[in-house]
Structure 1
Amino acid sequence: MPTAAPSANTLVHFDIQDGRLLPAAFVPSPNFGARPAPYDVAANLRLIVIHNISLPPSEFGKTNAAGEHYVKAFFQNRLDPADHPYFAQIYQQQVSAHVLIERDGQVTQFVNFADRAWHAGQSRYLGVANCNDFSIGIELEGDDYTAFDARQYDALAAVVAAINRTYPKTRRHLAGHSDIARGRKTDPGAEFDWLRLRRLIAQYAD
């Protein structure tokens, strides 16, 4: 089961062991690859990228007939094109993120942090291309036009804090998909409150 959603006024904590986010559920995606070899994850992993996703677009919490969340099905190559016209356009794409945070704050990991999730696409950060090689991708269930849920911010701050502790170079490098794929991507969108996130992350400072 995914990690329970955080309750009000509760500081959520995650730990990372061998690339796994605990106690988040781990639902393995086949869509990943090794980071460039030789690769010292602790030394080279240096960027966290925030995305948004909703399937169908701008619909939240939707599931297939088996009760599987559509985003989770997408990351596992199980999206049925017959379920929605939009799915026929994307069901053959092979994509993933390291982590998904649903509207209620539930957290699921799909790719070990030591590996490359396929989330950034054609991208560049501080002059370096191919951000998948050195980043962690976090998807928030949402879109560019709807405010994110408070529980998502709480969970996201806890996840980012755990990543920062384990991979210290990420502390100074937090970006949106729109920042690394300018002109191609717009997420997490204008509704995302970066200041709120940074204030929440500060609660976890040593």
Structure 2
Amino acid sequence: MPIDQGWLEGARRLVSPNQDVRPEGEISLLVLHSISLPPGQFSGDAIERLFTNRLDAEAHPYFAAISGLRVSAHLLIRRDGGCVQFVPFTARAWHAGRSWWRDGQRWRRALNDFSVGIELEGDEVTPYTEAQYHSLACATRSLLARYPAITPERITSHARVAPLRKSDPGAAFDWAYFRQSVGNMTR
């Protein structure tokens, strides 16, 4: 999956307005997330609607509380492994919120400035699919090749960068299997 001008080839493009310019242009961290809308339900277009500011607040009781959010991610990986890209990797997606990362000897905030956000369609208790792990490994390998400042040590979870408010992608995500898949693909 080559990356061309910030876009992952093979991913469906659905541009989100919830993006802006990276202040330094740095791309050096990968943050993995999970999302399901409504919570615990998969498929449908609610995630895409949320990330493009078109979520109908009346379509589900849960949506009323979140329809005003202005959030996005660079990439969404569906349960079937299909990828939807909302923001080019070269731009800042609004995915990490209030967060921090220990970068060597210093703590950094405003992670959206230098990170790529990938959402996995899922929740914290339902196992992710083989197709998702395959697509995530392919996308990660492409990111590692295109943006060398992202290294395997600079791949983390939303839970780790915002531990007081987030827990995704959760215990259902198999980090060892994911890292093995990425490692096997880079050999």
TM-score by shorter chain over 0.5: yes
Q: 1:84 aligns with which of 32, 55, 60?
A: 60
1:153-178 deviations in whole A, cap 9, x for unaligned?
00000000000000011123000000
Whole-Å Cα distance in 2 between the matches of residues 57 and 182 of structure 1?
A: 20
Q: Which residue of 2 aligns with 1:31?
A: 18
Q: 1:53 aligns with which of 22, 25, 35?
A: 35
After TM superposition, the structure 1 = structure 2 runs for residues 90-101 of structure 1, keeping only pairs within 5 Å, are: 90-101=66-77
Instruction: Give how far 1:184 is off.
Output: 0.9
Unaligned runs of 5+ in 1: 1-13, 64-68
Q: Which residue of 1 aligns with 2:85?
A: 109
Whole-Å Cα distance in 2 between the matches of residues 101 and 35 of structure 1?
A: 23
Whole-Å Cα distance in 2 between the matches of residues 123 and 130 of structure 1?
A: 7
Q: Which consecutive segments of 4 or more residues in structure 1 shift more than 2 A? A: none
- Provide the alpha-carbon RMSD of the alignment: 0.9
Instruction: Give how far 1:202 is off.
Output: 1.0
Whole-Å Cα distance in 2 between the matches of residues 161 and 205 of structure 1?
A: 7
1:123-176 deviations in whole A, cap 9, x for unaligned?
001111111000000000000111111110000000000000000111230000
1:180 pairs with 2:164: no
1:17 pairs with 2:4: yes
Whole-Å Cα distance in 1 between the matches of residues 141 and 3 of structure 2?
A: 10
TM-score, reference length from structure 2: 0.95
Unaligned runs of 5+ in 2: none
Q: Which amino acid aligns with 1:169?
A: A
Instruction: Give how far 1:204 is off.
Output: 2.2
Q: Which residue of 2 aligns with 1:8?
A: none
Q: Which residue of 2 aligns with 1:7?
A: none
Whole-Å Cα distance in 2 between the matches of residues 48 and 146 of structure 1?
A: 22
Q: Which residue of 2 aligns with 1:132?
A: 112
Whole-Å Cα distance in 2 between the matches of residues 141 and 58 of structure 1?
A: 10
Identity over aligned residues, as a percent?
43
Q: Which residue of 2 aligns with 1:190?
A: 171
Instruction: Give how far 1:26 is off.
Output: 1.0
Q: Which amino acid aligns with 1:163?
A: L
Whole-Å Cα distance in 1 between the matches of residues 130 and 8 of structure 2?
A: 21
Whole-Å Cα distance in 2 between the matches of residues 132 and 143 of structure 1?
A: 22
Q: Which amino acid aligns with 1:160?
A: T
1:200 pairs with 2:176: no
Q: Which amino acid aligns with 1:173?
A: R
